[in-house]
């Protein structure tokens, strides 16, 4: 503390409590026998402190770096087992049953449809279609020809 006008925290607290304590004691010792009110004291004049200069505003921080993308997943989406499929409108219906575990295959997978009107069809899922299904997507596939016609199936993982 270099200036003569500055006081330590301890000096400030002692002075404050001394003044507050004295005022409280004086108020409680008032003699009010004649209910006479005293005259007011004169007000003191004090010197105001100086106002400090405004601080400077800091510059904004630089933007952060963008994170890299996450790696690909290794497990199949939560697909129903067997995978749901629908056949496009036709005069007859075949169903094809595809087990969810088939989605882990890395080679083309061929399935036989149910029999209707004394014939069946073959449905082949290529590796790219298996990957789409494994990721939770939907694929459309056309069956093999039997009895001079084909069927289109929509197969999904949901």
In terms of Cα–Cα distance, which of 92, 146, 89 is closest to 119? 146
Domain assignment of residue 29, yes or no: no
Domain assignment of residue 100, yes or no: yes
3-state secondary structure of 12: helix
Domain assignment of residue 75, yes or no: no
Residues whose CB is less than 8 angstroms from the CB of residue 123 and which lie 6 or more positions away in sequence, other chains included? 96, 110, 111, 112, 113, 141, 143, 144, 153
Which pTM was predicted? 0.52
For 143, the domain range is 85-156
* 21 backbone dihedrals φ, ψ, rounded to 5°: -65, -40
Domain assignment of residue 151, yes or no: yes
Number of domains in the chain: 1
Tell me the pLDDT tens digit for each residue of 39-90.
554 544 555 555 555 556 656 556 656 656 555 554 546 899 999 999 999 9
Residue 20: asked if its preceding bond is cis (omega within 30°), the reply is: no
Tell me the pLDDT tens digit for each residue of 81-128.
999 999 999 999 999 999 999 999 999 999 999 999 999 999 999 999
């Amino acid at each position: 503390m270099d200036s003569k006008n500055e006081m330590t925290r301890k000096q400030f607290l002692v002075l404050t409590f001394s003044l507050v304590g004295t005022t409280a004691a004086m108020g409680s010792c008032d003699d009010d026998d004649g209910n006479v009110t005293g005259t007011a004291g004169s007000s003191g004049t004090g010197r105001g402190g100086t106002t400090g200069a405004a601080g400077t505003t800091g510059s904004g921080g630089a933007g952060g770096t963008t994170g890299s993308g996450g790696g690909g997943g290794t497990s199949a989406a939560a697909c129903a087992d067997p995978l749901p499929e629908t056949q496009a409108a036709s005069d007859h219906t075949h169903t094809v049953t595809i087990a969810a575990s088939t989605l882990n295959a890395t080679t083309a997978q061929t399935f036989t449809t149910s029999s209707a009107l004394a014939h069946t069809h073959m449905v082949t899922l290529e590796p790219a279609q298996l990957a789409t299904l494994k990721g939770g997507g939907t694929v459309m596939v056309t069956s093999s020809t039997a009895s001079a016609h084909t069927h289109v199936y929509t197969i999904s993982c949901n």
